[in-house]
Chain A
């Protein structure tokens, strides 16, 4: 196995989350700004269908109600195209959108500092964004290790209840 390249530097807490518009379905785009007023969890992952990602997203899929307690929206993002996402999502019965960071490839992942240039896909990276669109927590998981939801839940809890303007 070759040495992984130096990990990218993810955008740090306190940074305004860069907006983006990506396809969530062949006829539907999703923009980060659509979620202003509620927390957003961005889950970048390398690819649909790889077993490790499958587990990670399957775990998040089972505990959406935990995120829902904080009214948080979960968005999965990879460089796969919309049709690939559709098939993957249907196969795994995912109940949250998968966004296609497909053209220009990985542009959003690059913006967030979590693109693996040598590999051509994103790190397994998590961002929790607050109701005002500011990154409150970010995390890049070691290659081959699935991040659980513990860090996400802690970050959401640390934000406190809604209606607390910054």
Chain B
């Protein structure tokens, strides 16, 4: 029975939202859902992990909205993409995770305005589903890579099945990926 660990494909694409240098020795990719409580819980932990690892880490976020469970997740993902077009992805990303209970349509537009994006443009783009295909691309890549819930993490392309409930656990795994022998 093959027990190969799920692998990320593709690793990092141009359209990915990333923080950190492409030369960083370790890349952490999260597949997440803005309405998922576990992803909300992971958000501050990931902030701390990024702060502590600094330039050694590159972080990327991809969408995996579980729309059947979370009715606002798809629109929230598309709103984040709309903000990205206005160069406000990461501020919007943070704002959405910090306001997970206000992700209805009006809430999304308020958040867009709060992070300095033009809410009318976001509203237009949400109405015409401009970013539906973009979000779907992330979901498809996640399905093919072995996403098994939200959040799912990949460290240097290999699915991380360990615990992430404290920054130390993730940091340990990330450092191990930097120096495999240790």
Q: How far is the CA of A139 from the CA of B3 in the complex (A)?
A: 8
**B133 located at the interface, meaning its Cβ lies under 8 Å from any Cβ of chain A in the complex:** no
Known interface pairs A139-B1, A140-B1; A92-B144 also in contact (CB < 8 Å): no
> Does A138 touch B at the CB level, under 8 Å?
yes
Q: Do A59 and B67 touch across chains, with their CB atoms under 8 A apart?
A: no
Q: Which residue on B lies nearest to A93, using beta carbons?
A: B68
* Nearest chain A residue, comparing its CB with the CB of B162: A145
Q: Mark A132-151, 1 if CB is under 8 A from B, else 0.
A: 00000011101001111111
Is B117 in the interface zone, CB < 8 Å from A? no
Binary flags per residue of A95-120, CB closer than 8 Å to B gives 1, else 0: 10000000000000000000000000
Nearest CB to that of B149 among chain A residues? A55
Please, which residues of chain A bring their CB within 8 A of the CB of B16?
none
Interface string of B60-96 (1 = CB under 8 A from A): 0000111111000000000000000000000000000
A162 at the A/B interface (Cβ < 8 Å)?
no
Specify which chain B residues have a CB less than 8 angstroms from the CB of A52 in the assembled complex. Answer: 149
Give the residues in chain A near B149, CB-CB below 8 Å: 52, 55-56, 58-59, 146
Interface 1/0 per residue, B92-112 and A, CB below 8 Å: 000000000000000000000
Interface size on B, residues (CB 8 A): 24
Q: Are A148 and B67 in contact (CB under 8 A)?
A: no
A87 interface residue (CB < 8 Å to B) = no
Q: B1 and A149: CB pair below 8 A?
A: no
Bound-state Cα–Cα, A147 to B145, Å: 11
Nearest chain B CB to A64 CB, angstrom units: 10
Known: A10-B1, A93-B68. A63 touches B148 (CB 8 A): no
B21 contacts across to A, CB distance below 8 A? none
* Residue B29 CB within 8 A of the other chain: no
Which residues in A have their C-beta under 8 angstroms from that of B66? 58-59, 61-62
Least CB distance from B135 to A in Å reads 11
Number of A-B contacts (CB under 8 A): 69
In the bound complex, what is the Cα–Cα distance between A127 and B139 (angstroms)?
A: 23
Main SS of the interface on chain B? loop
Q: Which residue of B lies closest to A157 (CB)?
A: B144
Minimum CB–CB distance from B2 to chain A (whole Å) comes to 7
How distant is the Cα of A145 from the Cα of B1 in the complex, in angstroms? 16
> What distance in Å separates the Cβ of A111 from its nearest Cβ neighbour in chain B?
18
Report how far A61 CA is from B7 CA in the complex, Å.
21
Assess the A55–B6 pair: CB atoms within 8 A: no
Closest 9 CB pairs of A and B: A55-B149, A148-B146, A146-B148, A150-B146, A93-B68, A148-B148, A63-B143, A149-B143, A58-B66
28 pairs of residues in contact across A and B, judged by CB atoms under 8 Å: A10-B1, A52-B149, A56-B148, A58-B66, A58-B69, A59-B147, A59-B148, A59-B149, A61-B66, A62-B65, A62-B68, A63-B140, A66-B144, A92-B69, A93-B68, A93-B69, A94-B68, A139-B1, A140-B1, A147-B148, A148-B143, A148-B147, A149-B143, A149-B146, A150-B6, A150-B143, A150-B144, A151-B146
| B interface residues, Cβ below 8 angstroms from A | 1-3, 6-7, 64-69, 139-140, 143-150, 152, 159, 161
10 further interface pairs, Cβ-Cβ under 8 Å (given A140-B1, A148-B148, A148-B159): A59-B149, A62-B64, A62-B65, A62-B67, A62-B139, A63-B140, A66-B140, A92-B68, A94-B68, A95-B68
